Chains A and B, each alone.
Chain A
Amino acid sequence: MSGGGSPGRRAPGTAFLFLAPFFAIYAVFLVYPLFKGFWISLHDWELAGGYREYIGFLNYQDLWTDKLFWRTIRNTLLFVAMTVPTMTLLALMLALAVHGTGRLKAILRSVFFMSSVFSVTVVTLVWSMVLSADQGLLVPLWNALGIKPVNFLAHPLLAMPSIALATLWWGVGLPMALFLAALGQVPQELYEAAELDHASRWSVLRRITLPSIRHTLLLVVVLQIIGQFQIFGQAQLMTQGGPANRTRTLVQYIYDTGFRDWQVGYASAMAMALFLLMFGFSMLQLWLGRKGDDA
């Protein structure tokens, strides 16, 4: 180091050199596609062939009046509302239940995490079989109760909750693991002090555990928002967007528009809308989470 310079004041060139690989990847795979996507959304742009015509914000105007677009937005928001809070809560409850020592807890930790390693095709296949009205796992139950078997995935009101259920089962492992790691960081002495302070279990959870893991809680919620807004595979494989577009999600619509109908320009405009939506909700969440942090 040159004489007298503090570590924070070294030549800026060195710092940029170390950051360059990251910036290169960030620029090529994130910044460029984002602007390219926006650029494409300003065109009537076909997937194959060379037809590209600059049309300004016409795609966005079309979006405004596209009933199916709003429908898929509504469906996606509904799905997010169904999954994000439930997933977070469920993961937290599971983590609290299986946190700690003991063979049974160790086994259960693995069991609850295991579903996360399956691919979406396996998960949707399993749940389609469980929920099937013909030979589904639940059919004997309905028969025993004397109820006509319900076809969940074809039911206008139950199809979306069914997809949400499969998603919860599939995705709960990772947030649970994050919560487990956070719970492991809480000093044991705090719980001992709370025990001597006569704190009830509820009081311990509310005043000690939750404040101690709030940054992880925030992380889980943001990750869930980003993840669940992009719901595609489950809806595509379990209901194909049916019945009557009630489970058609935004990404599905983007996929169909771009790769089935070749309207890449219009699909890109929708993708931009999705990006803004996710960005907005994540920022809102981060802002709400930061509010409690005093300096």
Chain B
Amino acid sequence: MGRVSLRDVSKSYGSAMVIPGVSLEILEGEFVVFVGPSGCGKSTLLRMIAGLEDITGGEVQIGGRPVNDVAARDRGVAMVFQNYALYPHMSVRENMVFGLQNLGTAKAEIAARLDRAAQILQLEPYLDRKPRALSGGQRQRVAIGRAIVREPQVFLFDEPLSNLDAALRVQMRTEIAKLHHRLGATMIYVTHDQTEAMTMADRIVVLRAGRIEQVGTPIELYERPANSFVAGFLGAPKINLIPGVLTAMQSRTATVELAGARVPVQVIGGTEGAAVTLGLRPDVLTLHPDGPIPAIVDVVEELGNVKLIYATLPGGHPVVAELRSPQLPKVGDTIRLALGEGQRHVFDADGQAITLHDGPAT
């Protein structure tokens, strides 16, 4: 029922191609997050699935049925908009049942569904209020409630949390995740926030300039990014991408020379002497008196359990280390960074990963 297939779906506005071609299978009951920087086409793709945007090429299927020529209303999808798009002149109740009334649903059925949705979202006290008398979080819940009562095959979320403050965003994130477990419906969620993607998704689709860079579970993408863009987009603080040169190549091992240091890595492919980028998550770096990488401390951020050290390598390249040691350097100190446990990612000159991973992805 709630399966969504994109077959080489493309979109252009006149001569401007914004989505050159996207193919993707979304399984029934899956929570898929489209993530990418602004302008990457993620919202356009979502709107094409919804039927609010024409499809220039390719085919969209929902529940096995091609829907390219099916009106948005008949696609069996419900959408939660970024600005909520609540009808300002209707009460919360009217907002939520408007769709069912239009479909001619029986009154008893409407009342039952309304009660259920209001209960799930704790909206019972607000049913007779107008949207303008609600807070941002409450409005967002009404927008979700309006989608729930329709019992759609597919839920579409277009950056639904971006207008909320940070604390509320975390809370709503959990609520949406809970809702997904409870309803078991297919959900497609668009965001530019990598934390939302990492915490909510069954699978993440990373988009750049209208193309899919990588699709996979959050942990797959985090641990085995296909390229430096994906590596840089997921994870906070950002992964350190340090330029270097590949040397001392054996069959599977090599050394990346950077800023006077030599870092042993495991690679597949790559050529001796080629320029590469070494990707080191901040938590891989540790402080050690004999560490191979020297750096000068610029900023120290204490976040409680962890401390972030922003430093500069001899070549002028910035680097971030996430430390748990109680001993902290001061700004201006020269420190020596060593490599602890954790993956050392290597990307070739085109940014594609040539890292050799041990065993299957977790």
Task: Kindly supply a per-residue 1/0 record for chain B positions 84-125, scoring 1 wherever the CB is within 8 Å of any chain A CB and 0 otherwise.
Answer: 011111100000001100110000000000000000000000
Complex alpha-carbon distance, A212 and B71, angstroms: 25
Q: List 20 A-B residue pairs with CB atoms under 8 Å apart, sorted by A's residue number.
A: A187-B85, A189-B81, A189-B85, A190-B85, A192-B79, A192-B81, A192-B85, A193-B146, A195-B52, A195-B73, A196-B73, A196-B99, A197-B99, A197-B102, A198-B73, A207-B87, A208-B87, A208-B89, A212-B88, A294-B130
Residues of chain A within 8 A (CB-CB) of B72 are 192, 195-196
Interface residues of A in 149-201 (CB under 8 A from B): 187, 189-190, 192-200
Complex alpha-carbon distance, A189 and B77, angstroms: 16
Question: Is residue A121 contacting chain B, with contact meaning CB distance below 8 A?
Answer: no
Q: Tell me if B102 and A212 are in contact (CB < 8 A).
A: no
Interface residues of B in 203-241 (CB under 8 A from A): none
Taking A190-B87, A195-B72, A212-B89 as contacts, is the C-beta distance between A207 and B52 under 8 angstroms? no
Q: Tell me if B52 and A192 are in contact (CB < 8 A).
A: yes
Interface residues of A in 198-215 (CB under 8 A from B): 198-200, 203, 207-208, 211-212
Residues of chain B within 8 A (CB-CB) of A294 are 130
Complex alpha-carbon distance, A19 and B315, angstroms: 66
Complex alpha-carbon distance, A189 and B85, angstroms: 6
Complex alpha-carbon distance, A197 and B85, angstroms: 12
Complex alpha-carbon distance, A294 and B78, angstroms: 30
- How close is B34's CB to chain A, nearest CB, in angstroms? 18
SS class, residues of chain A in contact with chain B: helix
Chain A residues with CB under 8 Å of chain B are 187, 189-190, 192-200, 203, 207-208, 211-212, 294
- How close is A201's CB to chain B, nearest CB, in angstroms? 11
Q: Tell me if B102 and A196 are in contact (CB < 8 A).
A: no
- How close is B96's CB to chain A, nearest CB, in angstroms? 10
Complex alpha-carbon distance, A208 and B85, angstroms: 11
Q: Tell me if B79 and A196 are in contact (CB < 8 A).
A: yes
Partner among A187, A193, A200, A208 whose Cβ is within 8 Å of the Cβ of B79: A193
Residues of chain A within 8 A (CB-CB) of B73 are 195-198
- How close is B287's CB to chain A, nearest CB, in angstroms? 51
Complex alpha-carbon distance, A207 and B97, angstroms: 13
Taking A195-B73, A196-B73, A199-B102 as contacts, is the C-beta distance between A187 and B52 under 8 angstroms? no
Residue in B closest to A214 when the chains form the complex, CB atoms: B89
Task: Kindly supply a per-residue 1/0 record for chain B positions 60-89, scoring 1 wherever the CB is within 8 Å of any chain A CB and 0 otherwise.
Answer: 000000000001110001110101011111
Partner among B50, B51, B88, B98 whose Cβ is within 8 Å of the Cβ of A197: B98
Residues of chain A within 8 A (CB-CB) of B52 are 192, 195-196
Complex alpha-carbon distance, A175 and B245, angstroms: 71
Complex alpha-carbon distance, A211 and B130, angstroms: 13
Closest 3 CB pairs of A and B: A197-B99, A211-B89, A189-B85
Residues of chain A within 8 A (CB-CB) of B85 are 187, 189-190, 192-193
Residue from B72, B102, B146 with most neighbouring chain A CB atoms (10 Å):
B102
Given contacts A192-B72, A198-B73, 10 further A-B contacts (CB under 8 A): A192-B85, A193-B87, A194-B98, A195-B71, A196-B50, A196-B73, A196-B78, A200-B102, A211-B89, A294-B130
Residue in A closest to B158 when the chains form the complex, CB atoms: A189
Complex alpha-carbon distance, A47 and B85, angstroms: 62
Residues of chain B within 8 A (CB-CB) of A196 are 50, 52, 72-73, 77-79, 99
Residues of chain A within 8 A (CB-CB) of B90 are 207
Residues of chain A within 8 A (CB-CB) of B99 are 196-199
Complex alpha-carbon distance, A211 and B94, angstroms: 14
Complex alpha-carbon distance, A201 and B254, angstroms: 67
Residues of chain A within 8 A (CB-CB) of B150 are 197
Q: Tell me if A207 and B81 are in contact (CB < 8 A).
A: no
Residues of chain A within 8 A (CB-CB) of B103 are 198
- How close is B29's CB to chain A, nearest CB, in angstroms? 21
Residue in A closest to B72 when the chains form the complex, CB atoms: A195
Residue in B closest to A197 when the chains form the complex, CB atoms: B99
- How close is B106's CB to chain A, nearest CB, in angstroms? 15
Residue from B50, B78, B98 with most neighbouring chain A CB atoms (10 Å):
B98
Q: Tell me if A193 and B81 are in contact (CB < 8 A).
A: yes
Residue in B closest to A198 when the chains form the complex, CB atoms: B102
Q: Tell me if B87 and A187 are in contact (CB < 8 A).
A: no
Interface residues of B in 28-78 (CB under 8 A from A): 50-52, 71-73, 77-78
Q: Tell me if B102 and A203 are in contact (CB < 8 A).
A: yes
Residues of chain A within 8 A (CB-CB) of B77 are 196
- How close is A240's CB to chain B, nearest CB, in angstroms? 48
- How close is A209's CB to chain B, nearest CB, in angstroms? 10
Residues of chain A within 8 A (CB-CB) of B146 are 193, 197
- How close is B253's CB to chain A, nearest CB, in angstroms? 55
- How close is A215's CB to chain B, nearest CB, in angstroms? 12
Complex alpha-carbon distance, A267 and B181, angstroms: 79
- How close is B231's CB to chain A, nearest CB, in angstroms? 35
Residues of chain B within 8 A (CB-CB) of A208 are 87, 89
Complex alpha-carbon distance, A196 and B149, angstroms: 13
Taking A198-B103, A207-B90, A211-B89 as contacts, is the C-beta distance between A189 and B98 under 8 angstroms? no
Residues of chain B within 8 A (CB-CB) of A189 are 81, 83, 85
Interface residues of B in 267-315 (CB under 8 A from A): none
